[in-house]
Chain A
Amino acid sequence: MRYIEPHAHMVSRVTDDYQAMVVAGCAAVCEPAFWAGFDRSSPAGFYDYFCQLTEHEPRRAAKFGLPHYCWLCINPKESEDVSLASEVIAMIPKFLDRKNVLGIGEIGLNKNSRNELKVLEMHVDLAARHNQLILVHTPHLEDKLKGTRLILDVLKADSRIKPERCLIDHVEEHTVKLVLDGGFWGGMTLYPETKCTAARAVDMIEQYGGERLWMNSACDWGVSVPLAIPHAALELRKRGHSATTIDRLIYQNPKRFLSQCPNFKVLEAD
């Protein structure tokens, strides 16, 4: 079995996780920029983080032969301070030509505030001006439905944005149809307590066809499972899906979306 982990915060994980992922068949890992669990105090903190994502972390993954890619942004959890966000966003173009950068992400909303929305619009403008792919974080729990609607409104309002170049992550049963009907890709995050179980992800795949869906572990410093995708593959197998279908969902689908960025390359075994 082979798979692509399209969303993992590896800076928060131990090296053993890289080893376990590769042993399980991981062919590439993609790391969106994320909140550290505390607010960074200055743009310099983000500069160091972007260097970590584009220099240090790829080297750590390479020790296991695993290609590492990243997305850049200031995360919605730190978007309330528009002044700080403006400075960080101004810094991002300096990093866009680095060879493991896939695009702008994970941008989006957290509490659906006016300032978060402003910063989302700034990120969308940045992505449009630099022709970058977009990875969107949708809010948690009670904020997800409203936030997803607000995010889709922003993306649809910008004529430069192509839905097929945007992935809207952390969809659940009440948001997946909104995302797919808009022509966007959807990501299902497999978490033990929040977001989506493997069984529910397979339900959504069976209901919506899985043409523009992927699954991810979004493993980070919180309760999360770096091997969630292989476990979801087992769930698919239990539900009677073929090896070809499983390969399409956990390898070909993320490859198809991510290959819209010329930087993304995985070694084909066949």
Chain B
Amino acid sequence: MNRQQLLDLYYLEARSKLIDVAAFLDRLDRADGPADFRLTAFQEALRELQSNAPSRAERVLTALSDPTSEPIPAATTKAACGAWPGKAG
């Protein structure tokens, strides 16, 4: 598909998701109390969108990933939260 066709197919959906992200950040601004490492990671990942380099999805996913390579000593939870807490320190 060419760019016009892709814009026709996906622009409104992407626009809606973009506004959702903006509204999410506004909501956080209006709220009280401290944020945590997830917001920091989210803001770092957002910077990947500003780049004109290709593979933005890959770079956003990588920015939100645990960059280490050694297994952890033990699993203390089953859940994942979507950002790596290690970056908080």
Q: Is the CB of B81 within 8 A of A110?
A: no
Contact A240 B66 (CB under 8 A): no
The answer to whether A123 has its CB under 8 Å from any CB of chain B is: no
Chain B proximity of A22: nearest CB distance (Å): 30
- Nearest residue, chain B, Cβ from A143: B80
Q: Which of B1, B58, B62 is most buried by chain A, counting CB atoms within 10 A of its CB?
A: B58
Q: Is the CB of A112 within 8 A of B78?
A: no
Determine the chain B residues whose CB is within 8 A of the CB of A139 once the complex forms: 80
Within 8 A of B (CB), among A53-92: 77, 80
Are A140 and B80 interface neighbours, CB within 8 A?
Answer: yes
- Shortest Cβ distance from residue B20 to the other chain A in the assembled complex, whole angstroms: 13
Chain B residues whose C-beta falls within 8 Å of the C-beta of A111 in the assembled complex? 72, 75-78, 80
Instruction: Contact check, A145 vs B66: say whether CB atoms are below 8 A apart.
Output: yes
Bound-state Cα–Cα, A251 to B17, Å: 32
**Residues of the A chain whose Cβ atoms lie less than 8 Å from the Cβ of B69:** 146, 149-150
A141 and B73 within 8 A (CB): no
Scan B42-63; emit 1 where CB is below 8 A from any A CB, else 0.
Answer: 0000000000000101100110
How far in angstroms is the closest Cβ of chain B from A141? Answer: 4
A117 in contact with B75 (CB, 8 Å): no
Interface size class of B (residues with CB under 8 A): 20 to 34
Contact of B68 among A35, A115, A146, A200 (CB under 8 A): A146
B55 touches A173 (CB 8 A): yes
Question: Least Cβ distance of A15 to chain B in Å?
Answer: 29
User: Please, how many angstroms separate the alpha-carbon atoms of A111 and B84 in the complex?
Assistant: 12
Q: How far is the CA of A239 from the CA of B1 in the complex (A)?
A: 7
The yes or no answer to B19 lying at the interface (CB within 8 A) is: no
The residues of A that contact B82 with a CB separation of less than 8 Å are 141-142
Knowing A145-B62, A173-B61 are in contact, say whether A112-B1 is a contact too (CB < 8 A). Answer: no
Nearest CB in chain A: distance from B69 CB, A: 7
On whether the beta carbons of B57 and A113 are closer than 8 Å, the reply is: no
* Nearest opposing residue in chain B for A109, CB measure: B71
For the A-B complex with A116-B75, A173-B55 known, give 6 more contacts whose Cβ atoms are closer than 8 Å. Answer: A113-B75, A114-B71, A146-B66, A174-B57, A174-B62, A238-B9
